[in-house]
Chain A
Amino acid sequence: MRLWRKLRFLSRRHRFDEDLAAEMRLHVELRARRLEKEGLEPGTARVAARRQFGNALAIHQASRDIWCWRWLQDLMQDLRFSVRALKQHPGFAVTAALTLSLGIGAATAVFSAVYAVLLQPLPYKDPHHVVVIWDKARRDREGQTVASFDDFEAYRGGARLIEGVSIAGLSRPILTVGDSRRRYLAGIISPWTFDFLGAPALLGNPRVTGGEGCAVVLSHRFWTSALSADPAIVGKVLRLDRSSCVVQAIMPHEFSFYPKRADMWFFLGHDPAGRQQVPYGAIFARLRPGVTLSQAKAELCAIHESLHAGDAHGKDRDADTDDAQRELTYLASPTLRSTLVILFWAVAALLLVACLNVAGLLLARFIYRQKEFAIRSALGCGRGRLIRQTLVESGLLALVGAVVGTCMAVAVVRLLVRNNVTELPDGVTVSLSTPVLAFAALTGGGAAILSALAPALFALKADICSSLGGAGRGLMGAPRSLAISQASIAVQIAACFVALTGGMLLADSAIHIANDSLGFSTAAITATHLSLTREVDRIRFQDGLLARLRSLPGVTDAAFGTFFPPYREDVMEQLEVRGVQSTGSYDVLSCAASAGFLSLLHTRLLRGRMFNDRDLPTGEPVALVSESLVKTHFAGLDPLGKEIRVNQFSGPSPWMKIVGVVEDWKHLEWDAEWADSRLVFRPLAQSSDLDFAVGVRAEHALPRLARAIQEDVRALNPSMPGEAVESLDDRLETMRAYPRFRALVVNFFALAALAIAAVGLHGVLSQIVSRRTPELGLRRAVGAQASDLLWLVGRQGGGPVLAGLAMGGMAAPVVAWVLRNLFWGVPLANPGAIGLSAVWLLMVAGIAIALPARRALSIDPMAALREE
């Protein structure tokens, strides 16, 4: 109540002041009149009345303090003053606020991703004690694999330092609803898994409660998408892999576990097949209280060693364990963690530099306002008040910066989510949550203090006499602090140069990825996966489906193949050429293809012939190979007529005669670059594959076509599960999204850094011009030409810029090398990109130098000298 009255007072204080003054005036007047009546002279009476009243100003102030806190009044006053001061120089205010908002915005956006992926704890009880146990090659750092069931049982029986040891394997069950069948991804996990994780269900109880039969726990995503979030589903039965599975529970939206994209989890012993064990799996456990990760690891290694003493497996493999959050992030994307951590430190550095540069700008302003400060302190303004004034000004800028920056972060996060950046793990939603907003507020406050530091120190040292006497006289040349600022500008320019070069290279590679010829065309092709059972007549099914699909309205072509491009680097097979010692390397990829497959994809034949209708199961086995395979395996030889075979997991294929050479397909490697695939195509009729894909080129929109394809498939083979129907264009688009996004991020980052460095440069030069105004005026007066002054100022800014360019030029290869080791696919710097970014940088630096230089030119010699 009282607080409210005090706050309300703020808006009425002018009225209050007037009233109080009137009241006090009346009092003195009445007293004077009374004294006059008592016989004093009018003049004496007036003086006596005033004396009797006391110090009117102090009394007024005391009355006012009763209504409102003094500091609040002062703050309001400072704020008003700051707004006025900033309004006077809108260019300066906008530049400073924008610099801070760039810094704060970038930091907040990156922090929101860091928080969502790395910091927000997994929704388990005591999540940092949950670990994952892998099997690891002793020598190879990357060679982590799932562990065997024997290992799991040994750990469960033998390990004393961990508890709740459980295993999670994978399966792909088919869900039957009515006559539609679809395949999903499931985890097969130990029955106590949810208990040991301490993860409560949204609905139901995630335990085995119903005796022997199949029991399933559903993910939130599956529940909402496939079952329309039916709340009555718990306790009901789903047809999964021809078994009736009782739905035990629905997990909440934020729950995630292994596998990351699981639609459901079965309990071991209660999956549709009733399996008692899985051959391999990821092992999860909880560290007992007080046990460290390395202690647990040592124990697991000892168990692993004693279990595999003497066998081939134990010789070069070992147990490995790590924090579950780290591992689940790694499983989603191997580079995500390091990307985020590095990006975060980069934006933190950006923010720091932004603050320092704004500090430089503010300092220049305050030097310019030196006289004002001196007058204020001569009139009795305390140093504390002066420092508070600088803090309020920078605080105001930081406030605007924080608000604009947070808005920018919202936009960036929206973009991130909408672009569906493939690197973000499933189930992680990046959003501006409370911790993220708190972070933005905190960085805003930090920025205010940091950027006020230099001006505040300046205010502290402000010397009334010298300022009022001879403003800034004798400040020839740059003092030490300016030399430091210039060095910092040089470093910033160097960093900008490197970032700009990197951004250009990434943009170049993203453009390449978008425009390169891939050896195939996905335009308007829709594909789906099919898997037949042994009893179906494969050839009849394929021919029948092809005929049906081709007769669909709008369909221009259709064909079968083991897989359709585009694809990522995949498991490779080994090629053998008859009569030649095998190289032993697994470097080719084989694909069974129907006669029209390559023409559907517009892959060109370079030599020989394509497959035709005579390549039958009974005919001579033939093959087509791609250009790069010819280069590596038939260097200088004619491949046509040679016999080859492919060693797959299932065993070697028959010997096949090469009848033609086709152009290479490109595949996307982990480093986000397209690379040539060495391909072997075999006629579909001559392979015995039961798993293959069908592709259709059609003018239709996807949903209608997908329904038509699924109907056709079911008409021919009602027991076939329906798989997702996918547009190849979309798949290609997703693969291109990450390189594009990465280029976008790095370029945004580089441009932000450039803007901030330009502001810094501008700030330093403005300081110089402000300090040297009398000197510049004097020079002008004794005949210095405009070009002389331009040179004088330009030299101060040009020096650091050129030094920065040189440093950046030297550092760029080193930085590129370091980054290449950290991230895949950072391209090497090339002269074109370096030259272009240098030109770009010089242009921006030129503008940043020109503005203060122009101010130096506009100095009026008379005015400047009068200040002396």
Chain B
Amino acid sequence: MVSRDEIPHGLLDLLILRTLAAAKQMHGFEIADAIQRLSKDVLRVEEGSLYPALQRLMVNESLDSQWGRTEENHRARYYRLTPSGRRHLERELARYERVTVAIGRVLRPA
């Protein structure tokens, strides 16, 4: 089993947005699952903490949600990226890249 790292604090929002940007809509479990899968099981979502993050993104209107049915006919809430959420994602991504490059420079001076 590969060792699994905690998601760095504050990055969860970014991951959720990125995950949803790739799909049309997803419910909570799918999001958590997708993050784990895409990160090849390296990043582990502490699954419950996904929900406050989802609420936070709904409050600032990056996401909206609606109730639907899963393939197994379970009632589930599906989340979707809004246009303003897409812009938010781009901003956050740009910021993240700036920061990583800067940190990289500090850690490995040329």
Contacts and interface: CB of A to CB of B under 8 A. Distances in A.
A24 B48 contact: yes
B77 interface: yes
B109 to A, nearest CB: 39
A54 B55 contact: no
A38 to B, nearest CB: 12
Interface of A: 2, 5-6, 19-20, 22-24, 26-27, 29-31, 34, 52-56, 59-60, 62-64, 66-67
B76 A26 contact: yes
A53 B48 CA distance: 5
A19 B51 contact: no
A29 B76 CA distance: 12
Given A30-B74, A59-B48, 16 more contacts: A2-B59, A22-B75, A23-B27, A23-B76, A24-B48, A24-B51, A27-B47, A29-B74, A54-B49, A55-B48, A60-B51, A63-B51, A63-B52, A63-B55, A66-B52, A67-B55
B74 A26 contact: yes
Nearest to A68: B59
Interface residues of A, dominant DSSP: helix
A66 B59 contact: yes
B89 interface: no
A59 B49 contact: yes
Say what secondary structure dominates the interface of chain B: helix
A54 B29 contact: no
B32 A26 contact: no
Contacts of A59: 48-49, 51-52
Interface in B53-72: 54-56, 59-60, 67
A27 B49 CA distance: 12
B97 interface: no
Interface in B12-42: 27-29, 32-33
B59 A67 contact: yes
A23 B56 CA distance: 16
B5 interface: no
Contacts of B6: none
A30 B29 contact: yes
Nearest to A66: B55
Contact of B28 (A23, A56, A62): A23
Contacts of B27: 23, 26
Contacts of B52: 59, 62-63, 66
Contacts of A64: 55
A26 B49 contact: no
Nearest to B57: A66
Given A2-B59, A63-B55, A66-B52, A31 B74 contact: no
Interface centre among B27, B52, B56, B67 (most CB of A within 10 A): B52
A62 B49 CA distance: 9
Contacts of A67: 55, 59
A53 B76 CA distance: 17
A5 B59 contact: yes
Given A27-B29, A27-B32, A56 B48 contact: yes
18 contacts: A2-B59, A2-B60, A22-B75, A23-B28, A23-B51, A24-B28, A24-B51, A26-B28, A26-B29, A29-B74, A34-B33, A53-B47, A59-B51, A60-B51, A63-B52, A63-B55, A66-B55, A67-B59
A52 B33 CA distance: 12
B75 to A, nearest CB: 7
B52 to A, nearest CB: 4
A708 B48 CA distance: 95
Contacts of A53: 47-48
A498 B94 CA distance: 81
Contacts of B47: 27, 31, 52-54
Contacts of A66: 52, 55-56, 59
Contacts of A52: 47
